[in-house]
């Protein structure tokens, strides 16, 4: 018998080769699945140039889709020690929380937590020692990002997504809820001060109009609020209900664009100063008001180094603690942007506090520090979320450095870094995920090739059935 007669035909050789390639590409996924330890943390320290001064608490929004959370990518609170050691984790999925947003250190050492469930908001005092709730207040409002405890027994609330279908009225507001009286005792409506078309298309009057994501008491009867979709930070007087100060302008993206969590500071000269995460401009920026005019005094970050920053606190040492949400990390940077402390905490960190310093910023303005200007972030470990490999955008940028493709490949890598943490199963590492995608494409190509190879048989079979 001729040896060629013993060999498989060419089509079967091709099929066997493709099958072997598919198996080889899926092997890393199988290994990841078999070796995955559910107790193994996806929390990871990055750059640690110096120890932090005390515990850092991070609120993590968590993965969600149309209000449905993912128990494997949950909302959670993470307490991190000075050198990046995880002290404790409070898992929101066990509490029924869809998202975690604001977290505030309290004077007694506990934490005030703002969490949401479908159609309602839960505010509670959390004891980190016992891991128990001290008290809970349910509010019949949705997707609330910020609630502060003021005057001992009142909640200052940023109320968004509050459109009344029956009256065709938008009730987005900031209000004060008295815990003892169990009722709202003061309320300020955005509709009384903004036209219906405010927001320049970023928010619809009939749905998420203002997206007010932050409110804080900055003085007796003075509340600073952040209507994100208006690209403004405003100060409201409680008694007169007038807007007494405003930073930014609706649609003027050079100043602010869809910002989050502004903090109020004052310079040694008494000048009002606002430190704010300028989210869609991919920076943290500081403005100082002098002689009735706002001047930008400092900024840090760029589209290359930050990805949707949503919180920034000034520390007493002059550094700034930043939540870099879509890079799934928290960083502490010097006034000139050098990372000295970095921690990766998937999925979508929202707020951060250095507990011993209390709520919000407790440091000096950059004018008083003596550092002004624009700086970029340097010194990051550039890790993928929850892992020890560098981000795809950094890998591709380094690989294609000096070629005409560098910019395009870096842009592709940034999109990859942003999207894949939510798509990739938690037990699968990034390279196993890439191999699985390639296996999927190969299988699709195989099926298509079989269709082409058997096209005549398929055609005649269809004709026979239709005859």
Question: pTM of the entire structure?
Answer: 0.81
User: Hey, which residues does 294 pair with through a beta bridge?
Assistant: 289
Nearest to 62 by CA among 98, 17, 34: 98
Task: Output the pLDDT for position 388.
Answer: 54
Task: Output the pLDDT for position 101.
Answer: 96
In sequence order, what are the residues at sequence separation of 6 or more whose Cβ sits closer than 8 angstroms to the Cβ of residue 211?
Answer: 160, 161, 202, 203, 227, 228, 229, 258
Task: Output the pLDDT for position 39.
Answer: 45
Task: Output the pLDDT for position 441.
Answer: 85
Structure tokens given for 117: 């469930």
* 3-class DSSP state of 268: coil
Give the span between the Cα atoms of 351 and 310, in whole angstroms: 7
With beta carbons less than 8 A apart as the criterion, state whether 300 and 337 touch: yes
CATH H-level, domain 44-375: superfamily: TolB, C-terminal domain (2.120.10.30)
Task: Return the exposure string of 119-150: e unless at least 16 CB atoms fall within 10 Å of the residue's CB, then b.
Answer: eebbbbbbebeeeeeeeeeebebbbbbbbbbe
Task: Output the pLDDT for position 133.
Answer: 94
The parts of the chain modelled with pLDDT lower than 50 are 1, 39
CATH 2.120.10.30 positions along the chain are 44-375
Structure tokens given for 164: 């009344």
Give the span between the Cα atoms of 25 and 245, in whole angstroms: 59
Task: Output the pLDDT for position 421.
Answer: 67
Over the stretch 374-415, which tens digit does the pLDDT of each residue have?
A: 999 999 987 766 555 566 666 776 677 777 777 777 777 777
């Amino acid at each position: 018998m001729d040896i060629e007669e013993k060999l498989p035909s060419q089509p079967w050789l091709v099929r066997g080769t493709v099958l072997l390639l598919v198996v080889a590409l899926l092997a890393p996924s199988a290994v990841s699945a078999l070796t995955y330890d559910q107790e193994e943390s996806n929390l990871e320290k990055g750059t640690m140039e110096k120890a932090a001064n005390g515990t850092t608490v991070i609120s993590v929004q968590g993965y969600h889709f149309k209000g449905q959370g993912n128990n494997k990518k949950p909302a959670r609170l993470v307490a991190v020690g000075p050198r990046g050691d995880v002290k404790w984790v409070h898992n929101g999925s066990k509490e029924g929380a869809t998202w975690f947003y604001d977290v505030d250190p309290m004077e007694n050492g506990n934490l005030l937590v703002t969490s949401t469930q479908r159609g309602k908001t839960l505010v509670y005092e959390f004891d980190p020692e016992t891991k128990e709730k001290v008290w809970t207040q349910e509010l019949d409002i949705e997707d609330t990002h910020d609630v502060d405890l003021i005057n001992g027994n009142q909640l200052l609330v940023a109320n968004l997504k509050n459109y009344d279908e029956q009256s065709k009225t938008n009730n987005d507001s900031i209000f004060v809820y008295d815990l003892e009286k169990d009722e709202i005792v003061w309320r300020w409506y955005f509709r009384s001060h903004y036209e219906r078309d405010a927001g320049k298309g970023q928010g619809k009057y009939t749905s998420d109009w203002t997206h007010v994501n932050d409110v804080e008491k900055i003085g007796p009867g003075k509340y600073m609020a952040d209507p994100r979709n208006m690209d403004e930070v405003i100060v409201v007087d409680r008694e007169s209900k007038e807007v007494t100060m405003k930073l930014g302008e609706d649609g003027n993206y050079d100043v602010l664009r869809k910002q989050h969590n502004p903090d109020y500071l004052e310079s040694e000269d008494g000048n009002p100063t606002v430190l704010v995460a300028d989210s869609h401009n991919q920076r943290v920026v500081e403005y100082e008001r002098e002689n009735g005019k706002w001047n930008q005094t400092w900024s840090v970050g760029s589209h290359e180094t930050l990805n949707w920053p949503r919180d920034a606190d000034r520390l007493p040492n002059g550094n700034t603690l930043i939540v870099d949400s879509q890079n799934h990390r928290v960083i502490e940077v010097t006034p000139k942007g050098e990372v000295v402390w970095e921690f990766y905490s998937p999925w979508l960190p929202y707020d951060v506090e250095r507990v011993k310093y209390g709520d919000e910023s407790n440091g000096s303005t950059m004018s008083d520090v003596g550092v002004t200007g624009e700086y970029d972030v340097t010194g990051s470990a550039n890790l993928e979320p929850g892992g020890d490999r560098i981000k795809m955008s950094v890998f591709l940028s380094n690989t294609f450095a000096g070629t005409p493709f560098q910019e395009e490949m870096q842009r592709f890598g940034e999109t990859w870094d942003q999207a894949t943490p939510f798509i990739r199963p938690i037990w699968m590492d990034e390279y196993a995920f890439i191999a699985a995608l390639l296996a999927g494409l190969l299988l699709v190509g195989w099926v298509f090739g079989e269709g082409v190879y058997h096209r005549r048989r398929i055609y005649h079979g269809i004709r026979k059935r239709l005859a």
